[in-house]
A and B are shown apart, each in its own frame.
Chain A
């Protein structure tokens, strides 16, 4: 569904991604783990078009949605994302919940969720997805008219994921959803990621919490200073002594 083919990205003169190749298949949870500064967030921002791809290609392929969901934007997709601006990538259904949550602090919770659905023109579908988000995160329903900036860290994370889901994405990019959260909340967030995936969502998950990430993921990639050094089924990576030593803190 999503294919990165030796993608290079620069920050000014800094060569941040040095030829990343990875694949995410439909319905999978794929995780990208690695230490701080390895290029995880850079990878997501390159996919989203926030950062320009200097070399390589990003392909996004999807078959039309099932006729049953009646979505008006059902269409066959086979597009190179690396040539598109960020807002067009988002409109194709590649939705990112960014690192640090990036809630619009002065917009209310409701307005934040509405921003997630910005590019949509199917009011019924939006309402349906709003209900779905409230099912996943009942807390948000209680906070609807509050400015986003007044939410707690955990609530903001829920809002960030909810906002990303409001676009009715074909693939969800999650950047460090567990960052800065208490252990109990971390568990809850990963439980919700599992739930969203069980409902059919394809997910690319970036995490520093490698243990938790590999437990929900089908497959994983290990990123080190802009290169993919290891990849495979999540179970294999969990059992891999190198991974265990470097990222699982065992």
Chain B
């Protein structure tokens, strides 16, 4: 930027250049501080390798769940340029509904049956959770966002926050404050031991299921007529409608896909955390949003990788930085602030700026 000495440039441009340099220096300082802290505190503790591997595996499991939720944020942003801040609640509804489906299965004794019955019951629980989330997601689009489609961009955002609170406190009103606990069937409560590393079955199942769902979504987006229409609508709504694409229908389908993934994530997070309650979608929702921003919002592979990276950072971070695990949320949200300052387009590129053009 200093190589083009345009004499007529306004003073404001110089100011911005200085600011950008300062930001860069600040970024380097932060990175150095983190490295220094990791080297002097985290590594100095002398944890065995198996400890780090276990943490990393935990991180991937959590990252997989975040990825499913992050995809919902990114899909909706890609098409409507709005952040669906009620998306965490869409996930929570899936978790709550999954809990009742699980109770139903437990009451029928399905969870103690032969493994085929247990697997079927688990799948059924997930599908029911997904269906509930889809219903809520579609209702949100229809009632909270579509009427505001022509409004300034801040307005649907406010509506989203309102919807988020509405859903949380409706669930609170109906199901109470106390957490509902997921009881794992015996079949999946054990784990694998590889040397010193213990891999719980639920973790493995959650990770594999997340990956499969992400592959399914990627296939839909990249290889089907519907996915092509979604990408076309994301690029240019009016032109897509000239091709005979019903833009509203595509938007609804986008909400359905994102919500289905969130519902699956809600059920899996229920099994992972063992409890769900009215606000258990809030923090994971924000984390998934962070992951989507980390990868570059609107960018689908970005959301997947951003979430896995966030999961890893959150799992390894506290030990590496030598701070209590209770502060892992601080790490995630500090990361959000840092990305927004230093790389607002996320790790995977220019999608945001390209679309604004």
Q: Which residues of A contact B (CB under 8 A)?
A: 48-50, 85-88, 90-91, 95-96, 98, 102, 104-107, 111, 114-116, 118-119, 163, 167
Q: Knowing A50-B241, A115-B229 are in contact, say whether A87-B235 is a contact too (CB < 8 A).
A: no
B interface, over-half SS:
helix
Q: Knowing A50-B242, A98-B239 are in contact, say whether A87-B247 is a contact too (CB < 8 A).
A: yes
**Quick check: B244 and A118 within 8 Å, CB to CB?**
yes
**Quick check: B225 and A118 within 8 Å, CB to CB?**
yes
Contacts of B196 in A (CB 8 A): none
Contacts of B243 in A (CB 8 A): 87, 90, 115-116, 118-119, 163, 167
Contacts of A49 in B (CB 8 A): 241
Residue B232 interfacial (CB < 8 Å): yes
Complex CA distance for A96 and B242, rounded to whole angstroms: 7
Which residues of B219-239 are within 8 A (CB) of A? 225, 228-229, 231-232, 235-236, 238-239
**Quick check: B235 and A90 within 8 Å, CB to CB?**
no
A76 → chain B closest CB, angstroms: 20
Complex CA distance for A91 and B245, rounded to whole angstroms: 9
Residue B240 interfacial (CB < 8 Å): yes
Add 7 more A-B contacts to A87-B247, A98-B238, A104-B236 (CB < 8 A): A85-B246, A87-B243, A91-B244, A114-B225, A115-B243, A119-B245, A167-B243
Q: List 6 A-B contacts (CB under 8 A).
A: A85-B241, A85-B246, A104-B231, A105-B235, A106-B235, A118-B245
Contacts of B247 in A (CB 8 A): 87
Closest residue of B by beta carbon distance from A164:
B242
Among A85, A87, A102, A107, contact of B228 (Cβ-Cβ < 8 Å): A107
Q: Which residues of B contact A (CB under 8 A)?
A: 225, 228-229, 231-232, 235-236, 238-247
**Quick check: B235 and A98 within 8 Å, CB to CB?**
no
Complex CA distance for A111 and B229, rounded to whole angstroms: 10
Complex CA distance for A111 and B244, rounded to whole angstroms: 15
Among B229, B236, B238, contact of A118 (Cβ-Cβ < 8 Å): B229
Complex CA distance for A153 and B229, rounded to whole angstroms: 24
Contacts of B241 in A (CB 8 A): 49-50, 85-87, 90
Listed from nearest, the 10 A-B pairs whose CB atoms lie closest are A119-B244, A86-B241, A90-B244, A102-B239, A91-B244, A118-B243, A87-B246, A115-B243, A104-B235, A87-B244
A58 → chain B closest CB, angstroms: 16
Q: Knowing A87-B245, A87-B246 are in contact, say whether A115-B235 is a contact too (CB < 8 A).
A: no
**Quick check: A86 and B242 within 8 Å, CB to CB?**
yes
User: Total A-B pairs in contact (CB under 8 Å)?
Assistant: 67
Contacts of B239 in A (CB 8 A): 98, 102, 104
A86 → chain B closest CB, angstroms: 4
Complex CA distance for A50 and B242, rounded to whole angstroms: 8
Contacts of A104 in B (CB 8 A): 231-232, 235-236, 239-240
Complex CA distance for A49 and B246, rounded to whole angstroms: 12
Closest residue of B by beta carbon distance from A97:
B242
Closest residue of B by beta carbon distance from A96:
B242
Complex CA distance for A115 and B236, rounded to whole angstroms: 12
Closest residue of A by beta carbon distance from B247:
A87
A114 → chain B closest CB, angstroms: 6
Closest residue of A by beta carbon distance from B236:
A102
Among B231, B232, B236, B244, contact of A167 (Cβ-Cβ < 8 Å): B244
Closest residue of B by beta carbon distance from A166:
B243
**Quick check: B235 and A107 within 8 Å, CB to CB?**
yes
**Quick check: B238 and A86 within 8 Å, CB to CB?**
yes
A71 → chain B closest CB, angstroms: 15
Pick the most buried of B228, B231, B236, B247: most chain A CB atoms within 10 A of its CB: B228
Complex CA distance for A70 and B53, rounded to whole angstroms: 64
Contacts of B246 in A (CB 8 A): 85, 87
Complex CA distance for A107 and B222, rounded to whole angstroms: 10
Complex CA distance for A2 and B187, rounded to whole angstroms: 68
Contacts of A86 in B (CB 8 A): 238, 241-242
Contacts of A118 in B (CB 8 A): 225, 228-229, 243-245
Complex CA distance for A34 and B8, rounded to whole angstroms: 39
A112 → chain B closest CB, angstroms: 8
**Quick check: A107 and B244 within 8 Å, CB to CB?**
no
B312 → chain A closest CB, angstroms: 29
**Quick check: A115 and B228 within 8 Å, CB to CB?**
yes
